[in-house]
Amino acid sequence: MPTVVLMDASLSMTRPVSLEQCSEELQRKNLAVAGLTMLFEHMANNYRLEFTSLVAFSSLWELLVPFTRDYNTLQEALSNLEDYDKTCLESALHGVSNVVQQEWGHACPTQVVLVTDGSLGIGKGSLRHSLQTLKGRPEDKKFPLPFPFPAKLFIMCIANAEELQMTDTMHNLEQLLQLNGGDGQIFTMEGQLCLKSVQSMFGRLIDEVYSPFPAVLRCGNLASDVQVFPRPEPVFLDEEIDPMPRHILTEVDDVGPGTTEEPEEETSANQQAGKVPNFCVLLHGSLKVEGMVALVQLGPEWYGMLYSQADSKKKSNLMMSLFEPGPEPLPWLGKVSQLGPISDAAENPYGEDDSKSPFPLQPKIKRSYAQNVTVWIKASGLQTDVQKILRNARKLPEKTQTFYKELNRLRKAALAFGFWELLKGVAELLERECTLLPDTAHPDAAFQLSHAAKQLKLASTGDSQYAAFDQNINPMHTDFSGGGAAGM
């Protein structure tokens, strides 16, 4: 889980700390640097395989260090941080969104650590102004929260709670967390502003977010002490009436949780330079060579899988993916508790020559579907469907019926998945096709493409008037197609 450190470099961070509160002359910026130094040292010792980035901001934002595992580089950039002008948090959050999406896309969970003194800025561009003008903004000027990727926002205030509550600062920061879905926390300094209190504050962040998760990986008589990164979080089941958090057990009888493992060519000190046999290394090497996965039990009726994932040509990690809690997390596999060795079966379920397989398990009740359901398992499947629409679009008006048939099939699938961005993207492709029509193209082609693009954009807003699942986009009747102008 990558981390973005968003460091306030505005002039307010250069305010000196009162000599009554601190024995030496320090600025708030110095306290922030001391706290981040503590965090980077902890991550260098315990989270060496995680990526961290450093972004500084004032009225503008700047990427000081792209995502890296080199904490010396991060520390050096932090030590050389310059002072800039006023605070503009909105543009900085836009910067974080861009940095994360360019490196990790939309699906990677990310930790965002905002370090600031609590000054919200003045006038236009301040956090107060941003929150007051949330409504009525055009699409291209929307507030960057919630982030377009799973993210937790941790706000580290170089100020105590009493100072923040004297104004509306705390309320605005809490509103910032709510805009991000409530995922995160606000940390403030306790007591006087000094090195000891800032270290205590960052210590609380480390305990709650960056503390190691030691566990035991066990298989029969073989066992190995491991650590899991990032720390697993409790899981709540929505269908339970009174949901209780499910926690991964630190040790189980059959198979325990896995971990990200060190590169094979490196050896840890506590293994005496690799001379002591280690079950985790054995398992990792076996899975890597055989290209297989191992089922792992995390708790009562909760399973996952371990597998090797290459980080580069020389480095590979032992990864763990968690399944949904329950006895049958993968329907095609059946109950995990009923799996066993082939030798226990009356006859080989794979046949004498491996010509058959017991999987996937067939459902007891055969379902009947009136039509095939659109499913995109791989990117190539989605690309094929979009290309099919574009090919028919270039053959309008002869392929009008086929064009709208494929368009409505994609529209229904996108609405079912909540894939609003796809509808908007295809609409932009159709608008582009409209501008590229040759002079010899039939006039009806431009009308149909513009009409289809408009309807897709309306559906992408999620408005029930235009995004009804059982509603189709019908061809636009024009003078060229034998009727008057009409819509959906």
Q: Is the dihedral of CA 32, 33, 38, 42 positive or negative?
A: positive
Q: Would you place residue 92 in the very low, low, confident or very high pLDDT band (cuts 50, 70, 90)?
A: very high
Q: What is the pLDDT of residues 282-302, one digit of tens each?
A: 999 999 899 899 999 988 888
Per-residue pLDDT at 456 exceeds 90:
yes
pLDDT value, residue 28: 92
pLDDT value, residue 424: 93
Helix (DSSP H) and strand (DSSP E) numbers for the chain: 12, 11
pLDDT value, residue 271: 44
The C-alpha atoms of residue 322 and residue 295 are separated, in whole angstroms, by 10
pLDDT value, residue 249: 76
Q: Is the dihedral of CA 161, 164, 168, 171 positive or negative?
A: negative
pLDDT value, residue 118: 85
Q: Would you place residue 366 in the very low, low, confident or very high pLDDT band (cuts 50, 70, 90)?
A: low
Average pLDDT over residues 163-168: 84
β-pair partners for 320:
306
Q: What is the pLDDT of residues 118-157, one digit of tens each?
A: 888 888 878 888 888 888 788 888 899 999 999 999 999 9
Per-residue pLDDT at 267 exceeds 50:
no
pLDDT value, residue 19: 60
User: What does pTM read for this prediction?
Assistant: 0.64
pLDDT value, residue 152: 93
Min mean pLDDT across 16-20, 150-154, 466-470 is at 16-20
475 vs 18, higher pLDDT? 475
Q: What is the pLDDT of residues 383-416, one digit of tens each?
A: 999 999 999 999 999 999 999 999 999 999 999 8
Q: Would you place residue 251 in the very low, low, confident or very high pLDDT band (cuts 50, 70, 90)?
A: low
| 251: Cα separation from own chain's centroid | 28
Per-residue pLDDT at 423 exceeds 90:
yes
Residues of the chain with pLDDT > 90, as a percent, come to 41
pLDDT value, residue 26: 86
C-beta separation of 39 from 198 below 8 A: no
Parallel/antiparallel/unpaired status of strands 213-219 and 222-228: antiparallel
The C-alpha atoms of residue 201 and residue 188 are separated, in whole angstroms, by 7
Maximum average pLDDT range among 162-171, 335-344, 399-408: 399-408
Write down the residue that tokens 């004297």 correspond to: 166
pLDDT value, residue 480: 67
Name 466's Cβ contacts closer than 8 Å, sequence gap at least 6: 455, 458, 459, 488
471 vs 114, higher pLDDT? 114
Per-residue pLDDT at 268 exceeds 50:
no
Per-residue pLDDT at 371 exceeds 60:
no
Per-residue pLDDT at 308 exceeds 80:
yes
pLDDT value, residue 425: 94
Name 307's Cβ contacts closer than 8 Å, sequence gap at least 6: 287, 292, 293, 294, 318, 319, 321
The C-alpha atoms of residue 6 and residue 106 are separated, in whole angstroms, by 19
User: Distance between terminal CA atoms of the chain?
Assistant: 45
Per-residue pLDDT at 213 exceeds 80:
yes
Average pLDDT over residues 272-291: 82
Q: Would you place residue 269 in the very low, low, confident or very high pLDDT band (cuts 50, 70, 90)?
A: very low
C-beta separation of 225 from 214 below 8 A: yes
Per-residue pLDDT at 55 exceeds 70:
yes
Residues of the chain with pLDDT > 70, as a percent, come to 88
